[in-house]
Chain A
Amino acid sequence: MNYTYKVGCSIENLKGVRDFIRTSLKNHGVADLQISEIVLAIDEMCSNLMIHAHHCNPDDLFELHILVDKNNPVVFEIVDDGTVFDINQFHEPAIDNIVHQKRKGGLGIRLVKSIMDKIEYQNRSGRNVCRLIKSVHYQ
């Protein structure tokens, strides 16, 4: 099953993104706690993309695809035309430093890496595709 959601780069749209993921995964009986972790990770990726790659321009659109297949991990694809930011190349600040420097950011990418099994980047017909892969338990 393949679900698609097209969204403008306004952070006001994050709520819609979260609802889309919850509904799609619930259809397949993914456990609630696991859905909430996945929602958190994808919310972080989408908000980073909206803010940093698209400067919150609501006219810039990107697509979120969810590919669910009972016998395989779930694959999330974020497809856009902005500048690629490969989080695998990013060394997130230590939690201690975040506390000492009174930083408000720096936790998001750490969360994504903790939650997702694998994150990879591809170029497909000139568009950027960020693939996030996660094994889930179906109830």
Chain B
Amino acid sequence: MIHIKRMQEDGADVIALIGEIDASSSIELDLAIAKSVGEGFTKILVDCGALEYISSAGLGVFMSYIEEFKDRDIRMVLYGMSERVANTFSILGLNELLQIGKDKVEAKQMVA
């Protein structure tokens, strides 16, 4: 079960993930990112502070946007991960392929 909230700050779209992302809920993450892109945002901040769990279905959503974002010069930074969630990204080295910041301040600097 995941709740997703979106709000805009300093021209960036902030997508806050609250709860757990698995095979049953990863579609909602995909829709939220697609919506942000569709609305023309080129700076996307993903607040993972209240993300309790993410499975490969959710990781796959982030991975599937890497090429498109490179082509379209869209910057996405994930931030605020718990140790558990950060570990999930690092098992396969996805932390090297995605932009991950410590907190919102750092994330904003990374998309600037």
User: B-contacting residues of A (Cβ < 8 Å)?
Assistant: 11-12, 14-15, 18, 32-33, 36-37, 39-40, 43-44, 47, 50-51, 95, 98-100, 102-108, 110-111, 114-115
Name the B residues within 8 Å of A104 (CB-CB). Answer: 26, 30, 57, 60-61, 63-64
- Cβ 8 A contact of B55, one of A108, A114, A115: A108
Given A11-B23, A15-B20, A36-B84, CB of A100 within 8 Å of CB of B57: no
User: A-contacting residues of B (Cβ < 8 Å)?
Assistant: 1, 20, 22-24, 26, 30, 53, 55-57, 59-61, 63-68, 83-84, 87-88, 91-94, 97
Give Cα A47 to B1, complex, Å.
Answer: 15
Give Cα A17 to B52, complex, Å.
Answer: 15
Given A14-B23, A114-B92, CB of A102 within 8 Å of CB of B87: no
Name the A residues within 8 Å of B26 (CB-CB). Answer: 104
Closest B residue to A107 using CB positions: B56
Closest A residue to B84 using CB positions: A36
Asked whether, in the complex, the Cβ of B24 is within 8 Å of the Cβ of A14, the reply is yes
- Cβ 8 A contact of A47, one of B57, B83, B91: B57
Name the A residues within 8 Å of B56 (CB-CB). Answer: 40, 44, 105, 107-108, 111
Give Cα A51 to B32, complex, Å.
Answer: 23
Asked whether, in the complex, the Cβ of B93 is within 8 Å of the Cβ of A100, the reply is no
Give Cα A110 to B84, complex, Å.
Answer: 18
Asked whether, in the complex, the Cβ of A100 is within 8 Å of the Cβ of B67, the reply is yes
Name the B residues within 8 Å of A111 (CB-CB). Answer: 56, 91-92
Asked whether, in the complex, the Cβ of A115 is within 8 Å of the Cβ of B63, the reply is no
- Cβ 8 A contact of A95, one of B20, B67, B93: B93
Give Cα A108 to B64, complex, Å.
Answer: 14
Asked whether, in the complex, the Cβ of A43 is within 8 Å of the Cβ of B91, the reply is no
Closest A residue to B87 using CB positions: A33
Name the A residues within 8 Å of B64 (CB-CB). Answer: 102-104
